[in-house]
Amino acid sequence: MHALFRLLLGGLMLAAMPALATPLTVIAHRGASAERPEHTLEAYRLAIAQGAHFIEPDLVPTRDGMLVARHENALSGSTDVAERPEFADRKTRKQIDGVWVEDWFAEDFTFAELKTLRARETKPAERPGNRAFDDRFSIPSFAEVIALAKEEGERLGRPIGLYPETKHPTYFLHEGRHLDGRPIGLDTSALLLDELVAAGFTDPGRVFIQSFELANLRRLRHELMPARGLALPLVFLLGDVSGRSDPATSNFGQPYDVVWHARRGDDLAALYGPLAGALGLHAGSHYGEFLGPAALAALRREVDGLGPWIPSLVQAVPAPEGAADPRPRLGPAMAPWLAEARRLGFAVHAYTLRPEPPFRLLDAGGQELSSAELLRHLVAAGITGIFADAPGEAVALGLTVRACP
């Protein structure tokens, strides 16, 4: 069963088997988040029922070292914490990956305290129907998400995969502090692996680990996984590749670990090995600098997949001046590095496919693309997987990945 799952879903083997067409890997982005509040067991359960191959928990730690499923450690956008008077004094201001945020933070709550909070829709304007589910569900631990995947896989007779993301690993391990000023000092990558081992959920055909940072991916590859006898596929997520993101207002354009270590004067060669020279790592490094042929070849020796942001992959361009619809349009061609990434054997899992009109792109002529049309465009260009907020729609299309040249 597991060997068949690896064959069907593991886009990693495409380069070695160019004649084989495989199903597109569908990853339920934060669960079926177009239909239920994200990162709840109910959102994950619905995604599994819709046929998703993987469910995606983003992971942040609690004060007592439990990993929980939240997109961010800031809690007010996804829970009722702002309305809970008993936690009013937990609100504070912190710098997360270089950006100042005022909020309530998961690392300042015990797991028991977080369990009393209720989940809410994070995009109420775009998904008003999901507000009917506000305050009905709790925040799940990573252990609960693993248990759900195991139980549903056994019940349905098909393997359900997990695609966890380590959120802000440099912040939690090195830089961040609790509300009382004490260092957080939690290695979320190690905690993630320990949870998988404890649950016996370590089949490399059923787990991808993803991160926007490089240092923790290298530690996973060379230190943390070998110490536990694991060899799980790793995916490097790519944010804005334009180089124009302002690091003071957004952490989406740079791998924060590189920025942090470089500014401290740390030995980048010791931290990143051959990547330091091959990628030319420095305090101003941005994701676009990592996509040349030599850089991709160096990355391929460290990670198994890439996770590009769809607007960067399709090279979306702003609407023409005076256009009635301000949404971005497809560029004239797909990002040129995609073909090279496929040639090198990377899995390429793009994010995020969303069905609501505000999130859709336009074609070059200004006509709105449905999420299905956009996905067909991406698959034709060469992606091997998709993060989808409505995974059932992606599964129903029955798309297959074209063979790598």
80: in domain:
no
The predicted pLDDT at position 3 comes to: 43
Q: Is residue 382 part of a domain?
A: yes
Cα 62 → chain centroid: 20
Q: What is the C-alpha to C-alpha distance for residues 19 and 17, in angstroms, rounded to an integer?
A: 6
Per-residue pLDDT of the chain (405 residues; tens, 9 = 90+): 444 344 344 444 433 444 467 999 999 999 999 999 999 999 999 999 999 999 999 999 999 999 999 999 999 999 999 999 999 999 999 999 999 999 999 999 999 999 999 999 999 999 999 999 999 999 999 999 999 999 999 999 999 999 999 999 999 999 999 999 999 999 999 999 999 999 999 999 999 999 999 999 999 999 999 999 999 999 999 999 998 888 888 889 999 999 999 999 999 999 999 999 999 999 999 999 999 999 999 999 999 999 999 999 999 998 898 899 999 899 989 999 999 999 999 999 999 999 999 999 999 889 999 999 999 999 999 999 999 999 999 999 999 997 776
Q: In this structure, is residue 113 part of a structural domain? A: no
Residue 152 is part of a domain; what is its CATH number?
A: 3.20.20.190
CA distance 163 to 381: 23
Question: Measured between alpha carbons, how far apart are the two ends of the chain, in Å?
Answer: 28
Return the SS3 of 295. Answer: helix
Q: Is 97 left (phi over 0), alpha (psi -120 to 50) or beta?
A: left
Note whether residue 217 is domain-resident: yes
Cβ-contact 26, 51 below 8 angstroms:
yes
The pLDDT of residue 20 is 63
Q: What total number of domains does the chain contain?
A: 1
CA distance 386 to 396: 13
The parent domain of residue 202 ranges over: 2-73+139-401
Cα 164 to Cα 30: distance, rounded to the nearest angstrom: 10
For the chain, give the number of residues: 405
What pLDDT is stored for residue 247 in this prediction?
86
Question: Around Cβ 276, how many Cβ atoms within 10 Å?
Answer: 20
For residue 8, the model assigns a pLDDT of 40
CA–CA distance, 95 with 371 (Å, rounded to integer): 35
Of residues 387, 383, 398, the one with CA closest to residue 163: 387
The answer to whether residue 79 sits within a structural domain is no
Strand, helix or coil for residue 350: strand
Q: Is residue 20 part of a domain?
A: yes
Helix (H, G, I), strand (E, B) or coil at 274: helix
Sorted by sequence, the CB contacts under 8 Å of residue 77 that are 6+ apart come out as: 122
Residue 398 near residue 372 (C-beta atoms within 8 A): no
Say if 379 falls within a structural domain: yes
CA angle 292, 297, 8 (to 5 degrees): 110
Q: Is the pTM of this model over 0.75?
A: yes
Tokens 């996905």 sit at which residue? 375
Angle between the 188-199 and 142-156 helix axes, to the nearest 10 degrees?
40
Give the pLDDT confidence score for residue 210 in this predicted structure.
98
Q: Are 402 and 380 in contact (CB under 8 A)?
A: yes
What pLDDT is stored for residue 16 in this prediction? Answer: 40
Please give the Cα distance from 144 to 131 (Å, whole number).
Answer: 24
Tell me what pLDDT residue 79 has.
Answer: 98
DSSP string, 34-51: TTS-SSSHHHHHHHHHTT
Residue 366 and residue 327 in contact, taking contact as beta carbons nearer than 8 Å: no
Residue 109 domain-assigned (yes or no): no
pLDDT of residue 405: 63
Cβ(216)–Cβ(189) below 8 Å: yes
Concatenate the DSSP letters of all residues of 135-176 into one string: TS--PPBHHHHHHHHHHHHHHHTS--EE--EE-SHHIIIII-
pLDDT given at position 241: 95
